[in-house]
Amino acid sequence: MLAEIISIGDELLIGQVINTNAAWISEQLNFAGIRVVQISAIPDNKETIKDSLNEATKRADIILMTGGLGPTKDDITKYTLCEYFSCEMVFDEGVYQHIVQLFKEKGFRMNDLNKSQANIPSACKPFPNFLGTAPGMWFEKNNHIFISMPGVPFEMKAMMTNYIIPEFQKQFKLPHIFHKTILTQGIPESLLAQIIESWENNLPKNIKLAYLPQPGIVRLRLSSSGTNSKSVKQLIDEQIEKLKKIIPTEIFGYDNETLEEVVGNMLKKSGQTLSTAESCTGGYIAHLITSIPGSSAYFKGSVVAYANEIKENLLGVSKESLIRYGAVSQEVVNEMAAGARKIFNTDFSIAVSGIAGPDGGTEEKPVGTIWIALSSAKSTQSFKFKMGDHRQRNIRRTALTALNMLRRELIESM
């Protein structure tokens, strides 16, 4: 089965609202074994909606729409669909009673606009919206299914989960589509592709590999489908085991895991603690660590030492090192890491100092020059990186690189 998603709303086209609905719907359809062939965003315009539906029927069996079902004059989807399916608007008593009950529960007064939500095209089969007033609408025409849902995300998601996906599974025999995403850090996409080229070339024909790079991380997504979910999963798992032998230290997790989550679980398991001393990242590493529930079990605290006097007075960095080598140096970052570990009395401490940009660089230390240190009772080790010339990407890459240094150290110490 092939599906197309059409998101309706001027707000999507002017950048006022990010179209998260389409991404979520696409993911759910994929999980169910339905392949999405196209996603589009269109304005609240009658002719554009009709034209988009006509074009979609050339590509897909199922067309899902979101948006334009509110009670105000700018919401025209319902009335356009009434014209498109050559039917009339009828009053649905069941939809109306739901709206009455919803307003009663919330303690709001109904008006005629709210009541008008119970007017629906006669050609549709309405399905419930337990979280709002606009019902979902299911149309069928020339062996195509057309589904219209509200644009409000939590209303749409409830409809998809509780009604639409189960209905698809009831009506159609759908294949099992399986995806597994391998998460890597510390190796650029081009170099990674070179290292795993032989493995990639020998993948079974029914497994597709996609490279999904983002700042600091390269994701490798393996996809396959078949009638037997167990055999599809087993086939992909076998390929992952082969890949783990090629890049054993670069893989840090799978699917939706984050590096901060992986590191946090390792620290919790080992009973060890962490602190940070941050300059160019401005507390971003500490933010990532503390975004994980339960991080208080292993994270003690951080010093954001942006100014040299803070490095010196709080972290114990020597004035001589700052003068002789500069804040962005191996000597200073080592002293920052050792100082933080001493202050917080932790097993590990991460320290970073660099030039995030866009200015502040020199010929000797250009923008993107970053020093990262990891201190433990055993030793303090540090490395120099050239991250690039984009400030936010530099901050993100630095944080992920630092966490991955800790992850590798934890693996060796276990």
| pLDDT tens track for 289-307 | 999 999 999 999 999 999 9
82: tokens are: 């009434």
Q: Rounded to an integer, what distance in angstroms lies between the CA atom of residue 139 and that of residue 47?
A: 19
Residue 6 has a pLDDT of 98
d(CA 265, CA 269): 6
- Kindly tell me the sign of the dihedral angle through the C-alpha atoms of 322, 327, 333, 339: positive
C-beta separation of 193 from 211 below 8 A: yes
Rounded Cα gap, residues 183 and 166, in angstroms:
31
Report the 10 Å Cβ neighbour count for 199: 15
Report pLDDT digits (tens) over 220-253.
Answer: 999 999 988 899 999 999 999 999 999 999 999 9
| Residue located via tokens 């099992």 | 176
CB atoms closer than 10 angstroms to residue 115:
15
What pLDDT, on the 0 to 100 scale, is given for residue 128? 86
C-beta neighbour count of 376 within 10 angstroms: 19
What pLDDT does residue 72 have?
86
pTM passes above 0.85:
no
Q: What is the pLDDT of residue 71?
A: 87
* pLDDT at site 106: 81
Residue 2: per-residue pLDDT: 97
Tokens for 248? 């054993």
pLDDT given at position 227: 86
Inter-residue contact 227 to 176 (CB < 8 Å): yes
> What pLDDT shows up at residue 150?
96
Q: Tokens for 320?
A: 């001589």
- Order the strands of the 299-304 sheet from edge to edge: 299-304, 274-278, 348-354, 369-376, 380-386
Amino acid 345: pLDDT: 98
CA within 13 Å, CB half, 141:
18
Structure tokens at 127: 């399905």
Low-confidence ranges of the chain (pLDDT < 70): none
Q: How far apart are CA 253 and CA 262, in angstroms?
A: 7
- Stated as kind and residue range, the H or E segment containing 161 is none
Q: What angle do CA 119, 125, 131 make, to 5 degrees?
A: 70
Could you tell me the CA-to-CA distances from 168 to 129, 134, 405 in Å, in that order?
Answer: 18, 21, 46
CA-based nearest residue to 78, from 92, 86, 68: 68
